[in-house]
Chains A and B, each alone.
Chain A
Amino acid sequence: MVLLSLKNCLWLSCVLRTPKACFWSTASGGLIIQSVSNDVYQNLAVEDWIHDHMDLEKQHVLFLWRNSPAVVIGRHQNPWQECNLRLLRQKNIKLARRRSGGGTVYHDLGNINLTFFTTRKKYERMENLKLIVKALKALRPQLDVHVTDRYDILLDRQYKISGTAAKLGRTSAYHHCTLLCNADKFVLSSVLKSPYKGLKSNATPSVPASVKNLFEEDPSLTSEILLDAIAKEYAVQHQMDHHITLINPADETLFPGISNKTKELQTWEWVYGKTPKFSISTCLNMAYKDSVLDVKVNMDVKHGRIEVCNIDLPEQWLPPGLYSELVKGLTGSKFCPNETTTLVTTLLRVCPQDDELHSRWNLLCDNMIRLM
């Protein structure tokens, strides 16, 4: 196994960056690369870049990457339905939307990601997953791992250790999957549980599964050992050198235009705005003075923005003018706690300075913001 250190790799690519022998057009038919970054957006941008710019006729690529804590939702999913956004914000866990389909996953450094890039014609997920199982069995023959027809890899016939997703373009395709080595299962289960009620949507739902880390089965297994075993098996199957090249996703000279891709993946319009249209129908239970008010709320959210908003308040609980200002303000606004907070606190500036009114307003708005 030859793992080039970062310094060597940079030197190598500098030397090789002449038209004759270029980093990207290596002699053999395959390339194994590993990201030096743990930033989920940068790594997803590498996938985009390779998918859009590399000619995969001559060579296929295996991309190995790991991320610091992040939740990654599928292309057509609804983040409110899939995870606890409040908890994510509190714990500073990033939220990313990938371009491939499939369900929601939690990434941290104990999870490895593998992306198999091929031409559209050579797209074959089962083969890739069988390669991984073969590598695992070669490493530890006693491991009971197998591929299901849902493209999951199960440990001991019951625990999911890998989930799969794919993206197909006009000429190229990629299949990527996770592999649980030593992830924090406690955080995983708490962030992937959505507290939001009353959501109705046609977004792709995730299928929850019991998970287990390979580390729990065999404590001698680390992410590095697993990555290496899989790279070795890939090299054998594609008849190429078993050598992993380290790449830096922030390197514009190696990946021209990648910083734009990274930026796009972080925009609100992509992460939240691409959520398929959904509606919320729920009831706020507001404790006010000595009673509890049940306030029905109905909202339609499209492109992440509130299209329609109805709040069923008791008559005259708020002055009607103020209520209509609230609804007017929310309509067209992002379904986002930050934006809503700014809006409602500003509206408070221009309404009568009455303590009772202010406390009712704050109560209602805080409850509304909790829905987001």
Chain B
Amino acid sequence: VCIHRVRSCSSIRFIKSKYVCVFDKSALKFSHQQRLFRTSAVSCGQIVQFKLSDIGEGITEVTVKEWYVKEGDSVSQFDSICEVQSDKASVTITSRYDGIIRKLHYSIDDTAFVGKPLVDIEIDASKGVASEEDVVETPPMSHEEHTHQEIKGHKTLATPAVRRLAMENNIKLSEVVGTGKDNRILKEDILNYLAKQTGAILPPSPKAEIVPPLQKTEAVPAAPKDKARKMPVPVSRPIAFSGKDRTEPVTGFQKAMVKTMSAALKIPHFGYSDEVDLTQLVQLREELKPLAEMRGVKLSFMPFFIKAASLGLLQYPILNASLDENCQNVTYKASHNIGVAMDTEQGLIVPNVKNVQVCSVFDIAVELNRLQSLGSAGQLGTSDLTGGTFTLSNIGTIGGTYAKPVILPPEVAIGALGKIQVLPRFNGKGEVFKAQIMHVSWSADHRIIDGATMARFSNLWKSYLENPASMLLDLK
């Protein structure tokens, strides 16, 4: 029954194209609906064996290196099917037909022969077989349109999906600028054309609209320039959104994050925040920056934050400790290996500066420079990334004020530093002055750290930074 339906539908279509003047618009719609119905029915087209065509230079055999399609995939004419190689030449084989791949005749690394079948494609019965040369593919429009395009001598290349989109929106493909391969019209081109039609964007200069097929690249430079000048204005477009969800496995960096954060979840966190007046530190850094530069080192605020943290940890060593799995023992770590959260292309990594307790601010700056350049090159070693005992995250370089950082096991505390803002504050005399304020948000493991300890550590750290000269008293 289904097959019979298909045949009767296609015959109706043929009749329509001959006698289009007799039928009115409603007949057109009818056939359009019929056509949609037909495509949703079981496809029963003919299977064509697509043979490997001549490569040139007298080559008779090639090696199949990569398949771009698999059995069951639908392809359009000119889509890439596979990549073959012969004697230092890599050849992309493209499809001559629209249809569904039914059989791949070779596996990867097999030898394929010129003139022998490469794939079997099931094509739509009504469409017919494409000839050896490029075909003028006409969209399913009225007979008049078809003639119009033949007269123009146009090649309008577009996939069936794009053609349907154009037809649903009453767009003539001949008037759309194609920006795809071989001037093929892509979905984006239809959307852009529609946007222009609804008046959302100022009409571009006439030369950008029609593209004479032979001078492929001529008008293309003009069109993007026009697009670049206009401000995109959001407008409701009468078209369907065809975005698709994409699922990927969690691997590599993300897997590492999942592991760490799942373990961190077991730690009962508490938070403590405060603001720090960095006015004096900002001034100090300005003075010291050129000195550091002379020694070839970039000096940021981090070395100061890190050193102050280490000085604080000397007074409150429990913050530099580790709790064992069963919460039976607390290990007070001797080294202050302070981790610095780094944002790289792949994600979050936390290299640490070893033994800050015996480093000067300058030593820390040197080490930070080294870690930062290795980090951005993706060349940090395992020793740089292990052994951390305490972490600082300078999220303020990207933005934000308050944060709720997550402790990185096996550590017990972490601090997140917000951005430095210029804010009005009162001084001792009750006068308003310009202050450089930064917020810090600490998180600690409430199983062994209590609020008071965290608060006192924070106050000490804050006092070192608000009055940098006081660091001199306690520097080791």
**Residues of chain A whose beta carbon lies under 8 Å from any beta carbon of chain B:** 17, 19, 22-25, 52-55, 57-58, 74-76, 89, 92, 99-103, 120-121, 123-125, 151, 164-171, 173, 202, 204, 252-254, 256-257, 274, 276-277, 305, 329, 332-334, 336-339, 341-350, 352-353, 358, 362, 365-366, 369
Contact = CB atoms under 8 A, between A and B. Distances in A.
A347 B325 CA distance: 15
Contact of A100 (B89, B214, B382): B89
19 contacts: A76-B90, A101-B89, A102-B88, A165-B89, A167-B89, A168-B92, A256-B221, A256-B223, A257-B179, A277-B108, A341-B385, A342-B252, A342-B253, A342-B349, A343-B253, A347-B259, A349-B260, A350-B260, A353-B322
Given A55-B214, A342-B385, A99 B90 contact: yes
A216 to B, nearest CB: 26
A168 B90 contact: yes
Nearest to B374: A338
B382 A341 contact: yes
B255 A25 contact: no
A24 B253 contact: no
A333 B252 contact: yes
B216 interface: yes
Interface string B159-191: 000000000000000000001011000000000
B56 A343 contact: no
B94 A353 contact: no
Given A17-B222, A358-B386, 18 more contacts: A19-B207, A24-B217, A55-B216, A89-B379, A101-B86, A101-B87, A101-B89, A103-B88, A166-B90, A168-B55, A169-B92, A333-B251, A333-B252, A334-B252, A338-B380, A341-B381, A349-B259, A350-B260
A168 B260 contact: no
Nearest to B347: A342
B252 A53 contact: no
B47 interface: no
Nearest to B214: A55
B215 interface: yes
A92 B377 CA distance: 9
| Number of chain B interface residues as a range | 35 or more
Nearest to B223: A256
Given A76-B85, A170-B92, A345 B224 contact: no
B61 to A, nearest CB: 14
A84 B208 CA distance: 49
Looking at chain A's contact residues, the main secondary structure is loop
Nearest to A169: B92
Given A75-B90, A99-B90, A338 B221 contact: no
Given A123-B57, A350-B259, A358-B386, A338 B378 contact: yes
Contacts of B89: 100-102, 165-168
A254 B221 contact: yes
Interface string B191-219: 00000000000000001000000111111
A329 B252 CA distance: 7
A329 B56 contact: no
Contacts of A343: 252-253, 255-256
A24 B256 contact: no
Interface in B49-70: 55-57, 65-66
Contacts of B382: 341, 344-345, 362, 365-366, 369
Interface in B222-280: 222-225, 249, 251-253, 255-257, 259-260, 263
Q: Closest 4 A-B residue pairs measured CB to CB?
A: A346-B256, A102-B88, A101-B90, A345-B385
Contacts of A169: 91-92, 94
A25 B218 contact: yes
A164 B256 contact: no
A165 B83 contact: no
A101 B217 contact: no
B68 to A, nearest CB: 12
Nearest to A333: B252
B216 A353 contact: no
Given A76-B65, A342-B252, A168 B56 contact: yes
Nearest to B266: A350
Interface string B78-114: 1000010111111110100000000000001100000
B45 interface: no
Contacts of B249: 332
Contacts of A55: 214-217
B410 A353 contact: yes
A125 B386 contact: no
A75 B349 CA distance: 33
Contacts of A252: 224
A167 B56 CA distance: 12
A253 B218 CA distance: 11
B408 interface: yes
Contacts of A333: 251-252, 255
Contacts of B219: 19
B383 interface: yes
A34 B385 CA distance: 45
B85 A342 contact: no
A344 B349 CA distance: 12
A277 B67 CA distance: 13
Contacts of B88: 74, 100-103, 151, 164-166
B418 interface: no
A151 B87 CA distance: 9
A168 B221 CA distance: 25
Interface in B302-343: 322, 324-325, 331
B221 A339 contact: no
Given A103-B88, A342-B385, A362-B386, A276 B65 contact: yes
Contacts of A334: 251-252
B214 A58 contact: yes
Given A333-B255, A348-B386, A256 B220 contact: yes
A75 B55 CA distance: 18
Contact of B218 (A19, A167, A369): A19
B346 interface: yes
B63 to A, nearest CB: 8
A252 B255 CA distance: 38
Nearest to B257: A346
B189 to A, nearest CB: 13
Contact of A346 (B65, B218, B259, B324): B259
Contact of A338 (B83, B86, B91, B346): B346
B405 interface: no
A148 to B, nearest CB: 12
Given A333-B252, A344-B382, A349 B410 contact: yes
